[in-house]
Chain A
Amino acid sequence: MPQFDFGTVFIPQVAWLAIIFAVLYFGVVRLTLPKVGKVMQAREDQVASDLDTAEKAKASADRLAADYDAGVAAAQEAARASLTASRVKSAKAIEKKLAKANEKLAAEAEAAEAALSAARARAMGEIEGVAADAAADIVEKLTGKRPAGAQANAAARSALA
């Protein structure tokens, strides 16, 4: 095997290997690889920061949605409360108006009743007068003698009663 012919094979190969590997390491890899490493790091950072930003945006969106929901709920609550309040208020107002109207009606009814009874009393008095007159006329025609007015009135009242 030519590989084990160390006397002639070893030194030239190892010398060239040393030179070539030194050039490869210091002249090629050390000059180029860090550039790519930097870019890869930058990319990782960028992706991480983008993810971070997205997460923050999502959190703020969630917060906004929660705020919105809370606002809607509060507005609904307020609307319901004001609706109830105005309903109560209008019920009270209606009740008051009704009471007033009732009062007025009662007063009118009373006045009308009073007027009615007065009219009835007057009418009764007139009927008495007419009856007494008629009775006195009848008595005059029958007896030729007209009874006294008071007597005729008393007789008519007792007959009407």
Chain B
Amino acid sequence: MPGPMEQFEIKKIVPLEVAGYDVSLTNSSFWMLVALAGISIFLFIGTARPQLVPTRAQAAVEYLYDFVRKMLDENVGPEGRRYAPLIFSIFIFVLACNLLGLIPWVGTFTPTSHISVTLGLAALVFVVVCFVGFARHGLHFFSLFWPKGDPVFQGSPIAITMKLLLGIFVFLIEFLSFLSRPFTLGIRLFANMTAGHVLLKVFGTFVVSLGSFGALPYVFGILPLGVNIALSALEVLIAVVQAYVFALLASLYLNDAVNLH
């Protein structure tokens, strides 16, 4: 029986090499392409003939778009709507990858269970946040890391020295936490997806091994099967929630870049 980690194995479908680098079409890239195709169908059908009174497909697209726009309105403010297409793309891509990976029997692969993919997406968010921050505020963007509110050069010399020292300390901590954001963002999604799929696989293995118990066949496999059914429902929830969390954190980071504090 395959181990629980084997489902994350990258398999080459079409070997490919460009400039000495291996860029083969793998099962991961294949399922990313499937996600892209699914999203394209969803969006192109939903926006084929936009009407004031929407069709079902259009209403579905509008619902998701409105969800992203509201999230940006709440977390970034009126400036945030400009970034709605980007956050929407990230959200729907992560969501599609997460959900597609849960389809049983057809040998699906979850690209978001690979840290390379999630880190890549997180790095994109990080780069966008830095770009927006420096484009809007220039070097003033670094004031994001300085404690806000208390003017430094006020009070006695001792107070000023203390405030300066404390400010530098806080600045370093904030800066490090800022730099760690892409990693926490990427690892959170990767860990959630991986853990869920491992759990499903482990209980699936239990179904087989307990169900093939000689004296009473099938009977003992029912309990882990029930657990697996419940876990599948939970995994669907986690797939949606993690896509939401990823998009939410991306918009919160964008808020820092747009509005500083």
Contact = CB atoms under 8 A, between A and B. Distances in A.
Contacts of B88: 29, 33
B120 A18 contact: yes
Contacts, number: 128
B57 to A, nearest CB: 10
Contacts of B86: 25
A40 B86 CA distance: 18
A36 B47 contact: yes
Contacts of B124: 21
B117 A17 contact: yes
A40 B8 contact: no
Interface stretch (A3-11, A55-63, A67-75): A3-11
A3 B114 contact: yes
Given A17-B117, A21-B124, A36-B46, A1 B24 contact: no
Residue picked from A2, A18, A25, A32, most chain B C-beta under 10 Å: A32
29 contacts: A1-B8, A3-B194, A9-B114, A11-B23, A12-B10, A12-B22, A12-B26, A13-B114, A15-B23, A16-B28, A16-B33, A18-B120, A20-B29, A20-B35, A20-B36, A23-B36, A25-B85, A25-B89, A29-B85, A32-B44, A33-B85, A35-B47, A35-B50, A36-B50, A36-B61, A37-B84, A39-B58, A43-B52, A46-B52
Interface of B: 5, 8-10, 21-26, 28-29, 32-33, 35-36, 39-40, 43-44, 46-47, 50-52, 54, 58, 61-62, 65-66, 84-86, 88-89, 92-93, 111, 113-117, 120-121, 124, 190, 194
